[in-house]
Amino acid sequence: MKGSDLLVAALENEGVDRIFGVPGEENLDVVESLRRSSIELVVTRHEQPAAFLAATYGRLTGKPGVALSTLGPGALNFVTGAAYGFLGGMPMVLITGQKAIRQSRQAHFQIVDVVAAMRPLTKQSQQIVSASSIPTLVRNAFRVAAEERPGPVHLELPEDVAAEEAGDAPLVPAHAAELPVPSPEAIERASDLILAAKSPLLMFGAGASRPQLAPALSDFVRRVRIPFFNTQMGKGAVGGASDFYLGTAALSERDYVHKAIDRADLIVTIGHETVEKPPFLMSQGRHQVIHIGFVSATVEEVYFPQAEVIGDIAKGLDLLAGQLEGRLKTNPDWAVLRKDILDHITDRAEEDRFPLTPQRIVHDVRQVMPPDGIVALDNGMYKIWFARNYRTDVANTLLLDNALATMGAGLPSGMMAALLYPQRRVLVVAGDGGFMMNSQELETARRMKLNLVVLIIEDHAYGMIRWKQAVDGFADWGLTFDNPDFVAYAAAYGARGRRVTTASGLAPALEEAFSAGGLHLITVPIDYSENIRVLVDELRHMQDRNHLNREMKMRVQVFRLFEA
């Protein structure tokens, strides 16, 4: 067997069924080995979205997704995808080609040190120097990528190693791997703190969205009956319709949900990863925090838990619920507060204004999405609105990136969801800026015959930055652009395009697109004046009513809470 055959056999051994990417001449042995394998090679139109596809496969299945590129230019197009998986905790394996390492017949042509470039963006980055080491390196790559905290691993396969005869190097079988169970001391310490608290609150973070955790989390809330909120990436980890849901922290403070956070004396965070924009700001003496995680907390200026429960989250929560069940009283004030928070969030959701308000767009999308439907967001101003306003009942049904927060990942992440769950409705929501960063993948989506609806939020601008510019008192300058005719653009890709022209036109357009199946592009104009009205002025007034921080210049303060 030559090296590339061994690589492909090792990937089959890991259960890989698809690889995404753009091969170069240095990958041709691998391409030939793939041709004779059970693995499908899906070529994309740029390497960056291939890495986003692989990362999202990892995010949704818990198993590493795989992407392939050539050396230098192709490999460097992977870097944003690697960072996306690295910050977002998404398991993936990136395989890049390289010139031969035993001879140098093309001198330095196209050669950059990709292994070094990938090092700060991956859990491990390594060159394969001999074909016989491929089985162990591949097994190790998948193990490292998938284990907590998950992330990308990079392997570079030089073309002479790919072509080299390796004999019969045996493959390494994978085996089940369980995480350690949290210690009884940690469980007892945590349950003592919770029992002693007057108003404990739960918070679900990004790590709570690991696909295998969903039943354990809902079970925990049902048993202990403590109200909860979530971070943006922890959204849906526990059924959002649960009577204990208090909202999503899309800002770091002073949103409606922070009324609940401010009232709590103890916050139990479950799976919080500080790559996310802080869901609340810890300060000395304000709250106590217990961190329940697969791995220990990263201590930050705004996050320094006083107790930790480390290990398998599902088993830890089961043990903790065993200590707490039936021993906690639910504070009746929570129900009143919950209604107040959720009523404010749904304000103006049915207004007939055109262009549509962000609240109306979120509302109408929710109307056409069944509980298991998946909305995949790109990054822009509308993300804040979806994070705050979109209710989820099923884990991983609002895919958003609050870690790298890159533009351009919305379409590929939705494509992967559509590929994995062909029976579910999948909607990509992207701004006119972010959509155009990887819109070429409409061709890949069409070739893969995906059922996918893409909703473009059209404001002819990098709206989020334009908004910050306004809030910060800068002149409105430099952030607008013209768009292609999106209806014609869709047609050019063989997709169906449609423009929403009335306030009531969005929901039926989405419904018809989903009913018809296939690939659809719908563009909807948005009225972003709500950004200032709600996210600045209204929240400031709420604070004034509460007599909190009256003297603070809220416009500047609230603005600083958003990270571009």
Which partner in Mg ion, ligand TPP, none is near 228 (CB below 5 to 8 A by kind)?
A: none
d(CA 145, CA 154): 9
Helices 47-61, 79-88: axis angle to 10 degrees equals 20
Can you tell me which residue has the tokens 């690589």? 7
| Shortest Cβ 380–ligand TPP spacing (Å) | 2
Helices 381-389, 358-368: axis angle to 10 degrees equals 60
Residues 353-392 that bind ligand TPP (CB under 6 A): 379-382
Q: Could you tell me which stretch among 137-145, 366-374, 463-471, 552-560 binds ligand TPP (CB under 6 A)?
A: 463-471
Question: Within a 13 Å sphere around the CA of 153, how many CA atoms are in the beta-carbon half?
Answer: 24
For ligand TPP, the closer CB: 556 or 564: 564
For ligand TPP, the closer CB: 240 or 431: 431
For ligand TPP, the closer CB: 154 or 466: 466
Q: Could you tell me which stretch among 10-18, 165-173, 223-231, 453-461 binds ligand TPP (CB under 6 A)?
A: 453-461
d(CA 451, CA 562): 33
For ligand TPP, the closer CB: 201 or 461: 461
For Mg ion, the closer CB: 134 or 436: 436
431 lines the binding site for Mg ion (CB under 5 A): yes
* Strand ranges of the sheet holding 200-204, from the earlier edge strand across to the other edge: 245-248, 228-230, 200-204, 266-270, 288-293, 307-310
| Shortest Cβ 544–Mg ion spacing (Å) | 31
d(CA 297, CA 290): 10
Q: Site for ligand TPP (CB under 6 A): which residue of 47, 255, 432, 441?
A: 432
Q: Site for ligand TPP (CB under 6 A): which residue of 431, 471, 507, 520?
A: 431
State the CB neighbour count (10 A cutoff) for residue 415: 30
Q: Site for ligand TPP (CB under 6 A): which residue of 257, 377, 416, 457?
A: 457
Mapped to the 3 state alphabet, what secondary structure does 307-368 carry?
A: EEEECCHHHHHHHHHHHHCCCCCCCCHHHHHHHHHHHHHCCCCCCCCCCECHHHHHHHHHHH
H or E stretch covering 371: none
Q: Site for ligand TPP (CB under 6 A): which residue of 290, 464, 521, 535?
A: 464
Q: What is the dihedral of CA 336, 338, 344, 347, to 10 degrees?
A: -100
Query: What token pair was written down for 290?
Result: 């217990």
For Mg ion, the closer CB: 463 or 497: 463
Mapped to the 3 state alphabet, what secondary structure does 518-529 carry?
A: CEEEEEEEECCH
Residues 261-320 that bind ligand TPP (CB under 6 A): none
| Shortest Cβ 430–Mg ion spacing (Å) | 9
Residues 212-241 that bind Mg ion (CB under 5 A): none
For ligand TPP, the closer CB: 183 or 469: 469
461 lines the binding site for ligand TPP (CB under 6 A): yes
Query: What SS3 state is found at 289?
Result: strand
| Shortest Cβ 539–ligand TPP spacing (Å) | 19
| Shortest Cβ 518–ligand TPP spacing (Å) | 24
For ligand TPP, the closer CB: 99 or 277: 277
Asked if residues 411 and 423 have their Cβ atoms less than 8 Å apart, the reply is no
77 lines the binding site for ligand TPP (CB under 6 A): no
412 lines the binding site for ligand TPP (CB under 6 A): no
d(CA 105, CA 127): 19
For ligand TPP, the closer CB: 117 or 214: 117
Which partner in ligand TPP, Mg ion, none is near 186 (CB below 5 to 8 A by kind)?
A: none
| Shortest Cβ 112–ligand TPP spacing (Å) | 21
d(CA 328, CA 316): 18
Asked if residues 235 and 173 have their Cβ atoms less than 8 Å apart, the reply is no
With the C-alpha atoms ordered 350, 356, 357, 358, is the resulting torsion angle positive or negative?
positive
* Strand ranges of the sheet holding 65-69, from the earlier edge strand across to the other edge: 40-43, 18-22, 65-69, 92-98, 152-158, 124-127
| Shortest Cβ 167–ligand TPP spacing (Å) | 45
Instruction: Kindly determine how many residues on this chain lie close enough to bind Mg ion according to the rule CB under 5 A.
Output: 6
d(CA 450, CA 403): 27
Give 3-state DSSP helix, strand, coil % of the chain, rounded to 5. 45, 15, 40
**DSSP letter for each residue of 13-52:** HTT--EEEEE--GGGHHHHHHHHTSSPEEEE-SSHHHHHH
433 lines the binding site for Mg ion (CB under 5 A): yes
d(CA 59, CA 400): 11
89 lines the binding site for ligand TPP (CB under 6 A): no
484 lines the binding site for ligand TPP (CB under 6 A): no
Q: Could you tell me which stretch among 36-44, 223-231, 326-334, 431-439 binds ligand TPP (CB under 6 A)?
A: 431-439
Q: Site for Mg ion (CB under 5 A): which residue of 89, 358, 463, 497?
A: 463
Query: What SS3 state is found at 29?
Result: helix
| Shortest Cβ 561–ligand TPP spacing (Å) | 14
Q: Site for ligand TPP (CB under 6 A): which residue of 163, 328, 465, 487?
A: 465
Q: Which residues bind Mg ion (CB under 5 A)?
A: 431-433, 459, 461, 463
Q: Which residues bind ligand TPP (CB under 6 A)?
A: 379-382, 405-408, 431-434, 457, 459, 461-465, 564
